[in-house]
Structure 1
Amino acid sequence: MTSAPGLHQPPTRRRVLPAGESGSLWAARPSCGIFAFRGTRLQVMVEDPLEVLFPTDCGLSLLSALDGPGTPMLEGVNALDIGSGSGLYSIALLAAGAERVTALDVNPASATQTAANVAANGLDGARLTCVTSPLEEYVPDERFDLVITNPPHLPYDPSYARGDGLETALVARRGGRAVYDTVVDRVDGLLAPGGSLLMAHSSLADVPRTVTELTSRGYESETLAVFEMDIPLLAYAEHRETLQTRLKELRAEGRAEFDGSRFTVHALWFRRPSGSARC
C-alpha cells in the first residue's frame, strides 16, 4: 500500500474469494448477473460473451470496494468509464447519481450492450454517451471529475490471439500493461484538477509501477481493498500452459505477483491535486 507523503492510510481490507462460483461477488450470475451497489439492485446482461465479456469478479471487486464508507462521492460527477465493456461501471455510476457518464471502448459491440443495460435498469440514457475509440486516439471535449477503469491484464501471446471482444477485454501487450500504461500517460489530460481515478488493478500487471508513476506526479494514492481470486484461465483453457509460462516469466522479472492459480486485484483510488495544471 503506497501513498503520497502526508496522506493517512487506513489498514487495507483484504477479501479472499473462494475458488469456484460459490465465492463470486455476484448475487446471481446466470445469463444476467445481479449485484447491489449503494443500496440499488442492478443487473448486467451480455448478448454474446465472445463479443462482450461478461463482467468478472476482477471488475466487480472495485464496485465492492466502493460500496462502503470513506469512498469517493459519486453523486453529480461527470465520469469517464474507460474500457466500458458491458457497461458495469456506467450502470453503477448512473444509479449512484452521476450527472453524466461517457462509456469509452475500442469494441463497437460495447456501445450497444452498454446502452441496452442502462435502459434495462431503468436509468436515464440521456445521461450516457457511448464512444467507440482506442484510448490513445480519444479527444474529449472536457475533463472529467472521475475516471474509472478495469484494464485488460493478461499478457499477449501469438498462440492464443483471438481478435475478438474477449481478447480486447482480457489480453494486452507489454506484458498485460498496455492499457494501464496508456491510462497513466493520459490521465492528466482526462482528469480535472481535484478529480479521482478509480482502478481495478491486477497483481499480474505490476501494481507498484502504476502507484509509483502516479504518486511521483503528485497524485494521492489509497488502496481501498485487496481481493484474492482465481486467475481467469477458463477462457484460455486450450492455451493454459502457455499463458502460465508467460505469467511466470513476468513474475521472475518482478512484474507480476501470484501464487499458483491465485492472484489479487487492488481497488485503487488516485486523487489529483486541485492545483495541478499538468497536461
Structure 2
Amino acid sequence: MTPPVLLLRPPGVYRPQEDTELLARSLAESGVPHGATVLDACTGTGALAVAAGRAGAGEVTAVDRSRRAVAAAFVNCLLHGVPVRVRHGDFSTVGGRYDVVCSNPPYVPAPGPPDPTGAARAWDAGADGRAVLDRLCAALPSLLAPGGFGLVVHSALCGVERTLGQLRDGGLAAEVVASRDVGFGPVLRSRARWLEGRRLIAPGQRHERLVVVRADAP
C-alpha cells in the first residue's frame, strides 16, 4: 500500500515522502483489524489516516498541532471517503485508547530551538531529533488498547535502540519491522556539516536509514 496520490497539501504541511510510504506499507502488512480504532498522531496531510481507513479501520482519529495540517487532513479524508475525527493539538492530550496508533513525527536533528516555528515544525525536532519521539514513546503505552499495536517511523540518526528501549521500558514489545536507506533530502544536505560535527553521521555520509518500529501492548 502506498499513500494516496491525490492529497491537498497547503504550504507548511509535510509532504508525504519515503518515510510516509514505508509506514503505509508497514501498516498494510501488519493488518489493521476490521473495524479497529486508529490514531494517526502528527497526521500532516492525513495520508496515514486515509491509508488506515482504506485498510479497514472503523474509526480514525487524526491529530496535529498545525491548524493547516488539521484542515488538510480533514479535506483529504473527505476526498477519499474516510470517516475521521480530526483534532487540533498534541497526541498526549487526545485521550482514549486505540487498537492501532501510527505516527510519522518530526525527527530531523536541528541546530535551532527544540520547538521550531513555521514550516520547520513539520520536521525539526531538537539537537538529537527526539523532541517529539521521546514524548511519543512515553505516551504510547497509555494510547494503546490491550492487544493493540503502534507503528512509528523515524531516521536511524535519532537512535533506534533508544526508541526500542523506551518502548520496552513502558511495557511494550518492540522491534524494527521495516527499514530503507534513502539519500539526504534538501534539509539534511543543508546541515550535513553540522551533523558531521555532532558525529551523527560519518564524514561524507549523505544518506540515512529510515526505520519503522512496531510496539505491541500486552
Instruction: Give the alignment's TM-score, normalised by structure 1.
Output: 0.70
Measured in 1, the distance between the counterparts of 2:135 and 2:126 equals 12
Question: For residues 206-225 of structure 1, what are the alpha-carbon distances to aligned partners after superposition, in whole Å with 9 as ceiling and x for unaligned?
Answer: 11101012123332123222
2:89 is the alignment partner of 1:133? yes
Measured in 2, the distance between the counterparts of 1:228 and 1:262 equals 7
2:139 is the alignment partner of 1:186? yes
Find the counterpart in structure 1 of residue 111 from structure 2.
157
Find the counterpart in structure 1 of residue 209 from structure 2.
264
Tell me which amino acid in the other structure corresponds to 1:244.
A
Work out whether residues 43 and 63 of structure 2, in 8 Å CA contact, stay in contact via their aligned partners in 1: yes
Find the counterpart in structure 2 of residue 75 from structure 1.
34
Q: Once superposed, which parts of structure 1, at least 4 consecutive aligned residues long, lie more than 4 Å away?
A: 256-259
Overall identity of the aligned pairs, in %: 24
Find the counterpart in structure 2 of residue 91 from structure 1.
50
Alignment of structure 1 residues 116-265 onto 2, 5 Å: 116-121=75-80, 123-124=81-82, 127-136=83-92, 138-140=93-95, 142-158=96-112, 163-164=117-118, 166-232=119-185, 234-235=186-187, 240=190, 243-250=191-198, 252=199, 256=200, 260-265=205-210
Tell me which amino acid in the other structure corresponds to 2:86.
C
Find the counterpart in structure 2 of residue 45 from structure 1.
7
Question: CA separation of 1:63/1:102 partners in 2, compared to 1, >3 Å: closer, same or farther?
Answer: same
Q: Secondary structure at the match of 2:5?
A: strand
Gaps of 5+ in 2: none
- Cα distance, 1:55 vs. partner? 0.8
Question: For residues 84-121 of structure 1, what are the alpha-carbon distances to aligned partners after superposition, in whole Å with 9 as ceiling and x for unaligned?
Answer: 00001000001111011111100001111111111222
Question: For residues 171-218 of structure 1, what are the alpha-carbon distances to aligned partners after superposition, in whole Å with 9 as ceiling and x for unaligned?
Answer: 012521011001111112211121101111211111110101212333
Between the two structures, name the one with larger relative contact order (CA 8 Å, sep ≥ 6): 1
Alignment of structure 1 residues 267-278 onto 2, 5 Å: 267-273=212-218
Measured in 2, the distance between the counterparts of 1:181 and 1:249 equals 23
Q: Secondary structure at the match of 1:154?
A: coil
Measured in 2, the distance between the counterparts of 1:86 and 1:217 equals 29
Question: CA separation of 1:144/1:67 partners in 2, compared to 1, >3 Å: closer, same or farther?
Answer: closer
Residue in structure 1 matching 2:74, options 92, 106, 115: 115
Work out whether residues 43 and 117 of structure 1, in 8 Å CA contact, stay in contact via their aligned partners in 2: no
Gaps of 5+ in 1: 1-35, 274-279
- Cα distance, 1:235 vs. partner? 4.6
Measured in 2, the distance between the counterparts of 1:172 and 1:226 equals 21
Measured in 2, the distance between the counterparts of 1:262 and 1:109 equals 30
Measured in 1, the distance between the counterparts of 2:173 and 2:4 equals 31
Which is greater in Rg?
A: 1
- Cα distance, 1:257 vs. partner? 5.7
Tell me which amino acid in the other structure corresponds to 2:49.
S
Work out whether residues 145 and 191 of structure 1, in 8 Å CA contact, stay in contact via their aligned partners in 2: yes
Measured in 2, the distance between the counterparts of 1:75 and 1:42 equals 20
Instruction: Give the alignment's TM-score, normalised by structure 2.
Output: 0.88
Aligned pair count reads 216
Question: CA separation of 1:66/1:192 partners in 2, compared to 1, >3 Å: closer, same or farther?
Answer: closer
Question: CA separation of 1:120/1:193 partners in 2, compared to 1, >3 Å: closer, same or farther?
Answer: same
Work out whether residues 46 and 54 of structure 1, in 8 Å CA contact, stay in contact via their aligned partners in 2: no
Work out whether residues 33 and 56 of structure 2, in 8 Å CA contact, stay in contact via their aligned partners in 1: yes
